[in-house]
């Protein structure tokens, strides 16, 4: 099934950030080809994307480490650019299974870049993470700050960034935007797609929504003795739809530039755990019982972006506030108490 229209190849498109980005790509008029092995997602997410967008998503189901599968995907349409989401992302699991993380996240990227080379694709948008900074030397975080990830997951993101930087240095026609996400939360306002964690959520927000819906008794807040305004950890939460729109602007940027550039995608504002709980309670009128427990090892006190480069290069800024993130995330949780299953 080869369409003549140029398309964007999206790896990991059935996942949380990927599915929201597919919606915005389709809305912006792009054709897409999605490659996903559903190791942490469901094909139902892609059906929902099609419902929201009113357009079809071309699918090539399988693993990005499979060379012949990738060649099939690149042959499905003339591919003009790649957005690479596919990765394993659980920090704790990465400490226990580093080999699997390097294999999937670094090995996967290497296979994908070989396929890009075979297909002559030069534009590449990569899902990096604020975890590459490790313990912030200074806040807000700017892209030129030292990179020192604290765990194997973050290390795989850094290795990929180094690889992409070297590749750009070797090929003047390459254009790579490495988007360092801060903390995406919330869901599409339709309530049809959202974050669907398997097992116990690793992140704060799905934990809050699961407590609010009665799936879990109370939220564990890891530490109230951090050097922050209320003693709980501060993060830069960004609405997943704003994040998705950032990818559309990054694609356009890659079309008019060359070289490697890392870009923070955050709001530039920090919100503490207790502030997020309060915002959620106000936005949804649901109580979120919580208990303070000890700090988790490897956590940091505070982390938020300087989002100035994204504004300058991409003309992008986040516009949705924490209340909107909570209201939209809650709509998804309420409408889909068991996620996609």
Catalytic residues: 153
Q: Which residues contact 220 (CB under 8 A, 6 or more apart)?
A: 207, 290, 291, 293
Measured from the CB atom, the residue of 51 and 229 that comes closer to ligand NAD is: 51
Does residue number 104 form part of the binding site for ligand NAD (CB under 6 A)?
A: yes
Q: Which residues contact 136 (CB under 8 A, 6 or more apart)?
A: 145, 300, 302, 303
Does residue number 15 form part of the binding site for ligand NAD (CB under 6 A)?
A: yes
What CA–CA distance (Å, rounded) separates 177 from 154? 17
Q: How far is the CB of 321 from ligand NAD (least distance, A)?
A: 18
Residues 297-336: x/- map of binding to ligand NAD (CB under 6 A)? Answer: ----------------------------------------
List the one residue out of 181, 152, 38 whose CA is nearest residue 93: 152
Measured from the CB atom, the residue of 59 and 165 that comes closer to ligand NAD is: 59
Residue of the chain from 8, 17, 91, 279 that contacts ligand NAD (CB under 6 A):
17
Does residue number 85 form part of the binding site for ligand NAD (CB under 6 A)?
A: yes
| Span 195-214, contacts to ligand NAD by CB under 6 A | 203
Q: How far is the CB of 180 from ligand NAD (least distance, A)?
A: 8
Nearest-Å Rg of the Cα atoms of the chain is 19
Residue of the chain from 28, 53, 63, 224 that contacts ligand NAD (CB under 6 A):
63
Q: How far is the CB of 189 from ligand NAD (least distance, A)?
A: 18
Does residue number 233 form part of the binding site for ligand NAD (CB under 6 A)?
A: no
Distance of CA 306 to the CA centre of its chain: 18
**How far is residue 295 from each of residues 182, 185, 217, 246, measured CA to CA in Å?**
20, 22, 20, 32
Instruction: For 302, list phi and psi in degrees, rounded to 5.
Output: -145, 145
Residues 263-292: x/- map of binding to ligand NAD (CB under 6 A)? Answer: ------------------------------
Burial class of residue 334 (count of CB atoms within 10 Å of its CB; 0-12, 13-18, 19+): middle
Measured from the CB atom, the residue of 145 and 292 that comes closer to ligand NAD is: 145
For 290-308, the three-class secondary structure string (H helix, E strand, C coil) is EEEECCCCCCCCECCECCH
Does residue number 178 form part of the binding site for ligand NAD (CB under 6 A)?
A: no
Position closest to ligand NAD via CB: 15
Does residue number 65 form part of the binding site for ligand NAD (CB under 6 A)?
A: yes
Q: Which residues contact 261 (CB under 8 A, 6 or more apart)?
A: 176, 177, 178, 313
Measured from the CB atom, the residue of 256 and 326 that comes closer to ligand NAD is: 326
Does residue number 151 form part of the binding site for ligand NAD (CB under 6 A)?
A: no
Does residue number 127 form part of the binding site for ligand NAD (CB under 6 A)?
A: yes
Name the one range near ligand NAD by CB under 6 A: 12-20, 52-60, 246-254, 291-299: 12-20
Residue of the chain from 23, 26, 34, 36 that contacts ligand NAD (CB under 6 A):
36
Q: Specify the length of the chain in residues.
A: 341
Size of the site for ligand NAD (CB under 6 A): 29
What CA–CA distance (Å, rounded) separates 334 from 275? 22
Most distant CA atoms of the chain, gap in Å: 58
Whether 314 and 246 have beta carbons less than 8 Å apart is answered as yes
What CA–CA distance (Å, rounded) separates 229 from 271? 10
Does residue number 94 form part of the binding site for ligand NAD (CB under 6 A)?
A: no
Does residue number 262 form part of the binding site for ligand NAD (CB under 6 A)?
A: no
> Footprint of ligand NAD on this chain (CB under 6 A)?
11-12, 14-18, 35-41, 63-65, 85-87, 89, 104, 108, 127, 129, 181, 183-184, 203
């Amino acid at each position: 099934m080869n369409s003549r229209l140029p398309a964007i190849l999206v790896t990991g498109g059935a996942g949380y950030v990927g599915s929201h980005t597919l919606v915005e790509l389709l809305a912006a008029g792009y054709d897409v080809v999605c490659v996903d092995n559903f190791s942490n997602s469901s094909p139902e997410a892609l059906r929902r994307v099609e419902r929201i967008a009113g357009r079809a998503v071309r699918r090539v189901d399988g693993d990005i480490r499979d060379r012949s599968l990738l060649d099939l995907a690149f042959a499905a349409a003339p591919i003009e650019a790649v957005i690479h989401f596919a990765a394993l992302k659980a920090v704790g699991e990465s400490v226990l299974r580093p080999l699997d993380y390097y294999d999937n996240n670094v090995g996967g990227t290497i296979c994908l870049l070989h396929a890009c080379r075979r297909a002559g694709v030069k534009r590449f948008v990569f899902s990096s993470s604020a975890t590459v900074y490790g313990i912030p030397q200074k806040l807000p975080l700017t892209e030129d700050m030292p990179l020192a990830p604290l765990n194997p997951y973050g290390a795989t993101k850094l290795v990929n960034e180094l690889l992409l930087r070297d590749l750009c240095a070797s090929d003047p026609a390459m254009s790579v935007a490495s988007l360092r996400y801060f903390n995406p939360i919330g869901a599409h306002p339709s309530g049809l797609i959202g974050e669907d964690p398997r097992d116990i959520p690793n992140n704060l927000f799905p934990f809050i929504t699961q407590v609010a819906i009665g799936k879990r008794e109370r939220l564990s807040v890891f530490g109230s003795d951090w050097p922050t305004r209320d003693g709980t950890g501060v993060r830069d939460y960004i609405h997943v739809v704003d994040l998705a729109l950032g990818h559309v602007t990054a694609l356009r940027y890659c079309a008019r530039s060359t070289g490697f550039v890392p870009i923070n995608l955050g709001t530039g504002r920090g919100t503490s755990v207790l502030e997020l709980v309060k915002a959620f309670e106000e936005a949804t009128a649901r109580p979120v019982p919580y208990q303070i427990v000890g700090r988790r090892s490897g956590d940091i006190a505070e982390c938020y972006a300087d989002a100035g480069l994204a504004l300058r290069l991409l003309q992008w800024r986040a516009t949705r506030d924490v209340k909107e993130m909570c209201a939209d995330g809650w709509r998804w949780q309420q409408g889909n108490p068991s996620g996609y299953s």
